[in-house]
Structure 1
Amino acid sequence: MLIQLEGYGQQYSLKDFNLEGDINTWYSMRFDSVNIKPMTGALPSLVSQRPRVNAFFMENTLDWMEASIMYDNQLYSSVRMKYNIEQQVAYISHPLTYQTVSLDQKLVNWFRTPAGVFKPKNEATGYYLIIFEGEQLSFVKESAKKLDIKDREFEYTRTDEFYLLTDNERVRVKNKGSYLKQFPSHKKEIKKFMRLKESREIKRIGKENFLIHLAKYCDNLSIQ
């Protein structure tokens, strides 16, 4: 089980530090028993982790992801990171003390992990995973978890939703019909594309793969 302690504590901000991407130097220069100026809010604590019962995007592992972060327009590499999709908060870990640091979403440009590149949502808490980024649209995944307690046992219910992002709108994609509705003037072309042998083979692999396949095709349609 993972628990975020909501009590009194402190939070760190990476703003105002520019060490040319060296996260270890940033930590060693700024965090010691005397210099605590970067601490400004609640310090999260994650305890009693178990595979399959956790609040994070990456499941079935207790390991932190190695990531790179563009934070306040400054690149940091080789950062230990986790993305809590219950609280919709990204954490990094102090490389020496393993203290957990919550990032200020307003300062995150993006973070790259083994799962892909995440970007902060506009006017909402949390991040979305970029699955496909085209010329006119992007296909993204937004994930969340809800903690359920049954008979003193802890479990998380996970939801993964897909969206098309354009310059002007955010459209939820539930199935192939979502594309037909989004591109009504291209219905015949999209249906014909769906019937192609390649499309049918990808559809057999899984729903997510098929929706990505359609997004790539529709990105070309949108610029015609």
Structure 2
Amino acid sequence: MIRLSLITLLILIQIKVYGQQYNLKDFNLEGDINTWYSARFDSVNIKPMTGVLASLASQRPKVNAFFTENTLDWMKASIMYDNQRYDNVRIKYDIEQQLAYISHPLNKQTITLDQQLVNWFRTPAGIFKPKNEATGYYLIIFEGEQLSLVKESSKRLVIQNREFDYARTDELFLLTNNEKVRIKNRKSYLKQFPTHKKEIKKFMRSQESREINRMGKESFLIHLAKYCDNLSIQ
């Protein structure tokens, strides 16, 4: 009964504000009220919707400023915002401006999230967290007991022969003991853990490590991060 009253109140509010944009045809009291409520109101809350309205420059699917390549589609996400969780949120991460945008579920306006209030947001690409002392977010690609390996991505606009494109940069960092260390290659781990140099080198030469190395540089660096996390625990 309380839930039904809350829904009725929300409907009245939304009709008043967005009367020309909201359709109540799908509202069916004989159906699953929880499903109806979650689908429409999980991401409609005063806090995420009070950000600055964003005006996005014209983008193309294969040439854009966003984290996700070759598409202009919004990512469906869950957000922990000011210690409160919101699901079914449509989000884009602009890695040129280092800003995260959400789409208002009712009027489709683009809103800039307040980075200081973002705890994290989870997308199909992974979990992003805000940088501590800079604008933007990093992608967690491994999170262990003692250390994390994260990716920071950026783009810069390049104009050549009257054509524009974006040059992308992806950098990996190890977060451990309140330190942030750039991980360029396997040697970065040897420098970071000098007391375990022999063990790490031996691990790098193992059959498993060689096979993972063939899969790609990033996969191999994640593999080493997991091993070094276990070394830190011992």
| Cα shift at 1:38 | 8.9
* 3-state SS, counterpart of residue 192 of structure 1: helix
The amino acid across from 1:25 in the alignment is: F
Residue of structure 2 in register with 1:129 after alignment: 139
- Cα drift, residue 146 of structure 1: 0.4
Deviations 1:166-198 (A, max 9, x none): 132000000000000000011110010000111
**Aligned partner (choices 130, 141, 148) of residue 158 of structure 2:** 148
Q: Quick one: structure 1 residues 124 and 179, their matched pair in 2 at CA, closer, same or farther if it must change by over 3 Å? A: same
**Structure 1 range deviating more: 62-71 or 40-49:** 40-49
Q: Tell me, in whole angstroms, the C-alpha distance in 2 between the residues paired with 1:24 and 1:103.
A: 20
Larger Rg: 2
Residues 131 and 27 of structure 1: is their aligned pair in 2 closer, same or farther, counting only changes over 3 Å? closer
Give the alignment of 1:60-99 within 5 angstroms. 60-99=70-109
Whether contact under 8 Å (1:164, 1:172) holds in the other structure is yes
Q: Deviations over 1:5-44 (max 9, x none)?
A: xxxxxxxxxxxxxxxx9684377686xxxxxx99877421
TM-score (norm 1): 0.83
What SS does structure 2 have at the residue aligned with 1:222?
A: helix
SS at 2:203 equivalent:
helix
More helix by share: 2
Q: Secondary structure at the match of 1:165?
A: strand
Deviation at 1:100, TM superposition (A): 0.1
Counterpart position of 1:217: 227
The residue type equivalent to 1:206 in the other structure is G
Aligned partner of 1:190 among 181, 196, 200? 200
Relative to the length of structure 2, the TM-score reads 0.79
**Amino acid in structure 1 at the alignment position of 2:113:** L
Give the alignment partner of residue 207 of structure 1, picking from 202, 214, 217: 217
Supply the distance in 1 between the matched residues of 2:191 and 2:233 (Cα, whole angstroms): 17
Question: Superposition RMSD on alpha carbons, in Å?
Answer: 2.1
Amino acid of the residue matched to residue 216 of structure 2?
A: G
Query: In percent, how many aligned pairs have the same letter?
Result: 75
> Where do 1:31-46 residues align within 5 Å?
42-46=52-56
Quick check: 1:102 aligned with 2:118? no
> Does the CA contact (< 8 Å) of 2:79 and 2:122 recur in 1?
yes
* SS of match in other structure, 1:221: helix
The structure, 1 or 2, with the larger RCO (C-alpha pairs under 8 Å, 6+ apart) is 1
Identify if the C-alpha distance between structure 1 residues 39 and 205 changes in structure 2 by more than 3 Å, giving closer, same or farther. closer
The runs of 5 or more residues in structure 2 that have no matched partner are 1-36
Instruction: For structure 1, list consecutive stretches of 5 or more residues without a partner in the other structure.
Output: 1-20, 31-36
